[in-house]
Amino acid sequence: MLQIKPATLEHIPEITRIFAHHIQTGTGSFHITPPSLLEMQQKWHELQDRQHPWLVGVENSTQKIVGFCYASDFRKKEAFQFTLEDTIYVHPDHLHQGIGKALLGALINQCKTLGFEQLVAVIGDASNQGSIALHTSQGFTHCGTLKKVGKKHGLTLDIVLMQLELQEV
């Protein structure tokens, strides 16, 4: 069983390890160098100060963090204050077990409750079918593809943009 709860500073070391793994081995993130523990702690403080949700998935039997997600500013300009961008990563030993779906669903609900209007997914690598399928399953729609905008691991990569309207009109 999975418990989803707000991330705390105590969770940041394991979150940092999960994120580092995906940065070093994949193309879902366009980071080349993983952020340090201090950088991730600063990011956590920034999101707390802005009252943006950051969640962790914790395996009940082991209390191990098996994934995390958060919503951050889509852009830093005031006109975007009601639009967030999601970030989600699952521990490599726990992929394809529904953890991402549970985390993203909980994040969407929190963003709605907080009154945000749009949630944007900026998916690194157009061949990242797992992330595209995850977001589609939660109601996101494809908005476009930015072609050949990144280079990582010797590959030239696209970005897929997806969007979810959080508040019913």
Average pLDDT of the chain is 96
Q: Work out the average pLDDT over 26-43.
A: 96
pLDDT surpasses 60 at 169: no
The pLDDT tens digits of the residues spanning 82-111 come to 999 999 999 999 999 999 999 999 999 999
Structural domain boundaries enclosing 46: 2-122
pLDDT at 131 over 90: yes
Mean pLDDT of 26-53: 96
160 part of a folded domain: no
In the chain, the number of structural domains is: 1
Asked if residue 10 is part of any domain, the answer here is yes
Residue 167: pLDDT band by 50, 70, 90 thresholds? confident
**Looking at the domain assignment, is residue 137 inside a domain?**
no
Residue 140 has pLDDT above 80, yes or no: yes
Looking at this protein, which amino acid is placed at residue 159? Answer: I
* CATH code for the domain in which residue 25 is found: 3.40.630.30
Two tokens, residue 158: 């696209």
User: Is there a contact between 14 and 144 (Cβ–Cβ < 8 Å)?
Assistant: no
Lowest mean pLDDT among 15-24, 110-119, 160-169: 160-169
Amino acid letter at 105? G
Tell me: pLDDT of 26 over 70.
Answer: yes
Instruction: Using DSSP bridges, classify how beta strands 65-73 and 118-124 pair: parallel, antiparallel or unpaired.
Output: unpaired
Least confident of 6-10, 12-16, 123-127: 123-127
104 part of a folded domain: yes
Query: Would residue 155 count as lying in a domain?
Result: no
User: Residue 22 domain-assigned?
Assistant: yes
Query: Could you tell me if residue 145 is inside a domain?
Result: no
Tally the C-alpha atoms within 13 A of residue 136's C-alpha that lie toward its C-beta: 9
Examine residue 146 and state whether it is found in any structural domain, yes or no.
Answer: no
| Residue of 57, 69, 160, 161 whose CA lies nearest to 108 | 69
**What local confidence, expressed as pLDDT, does residue 168 receive?**
73
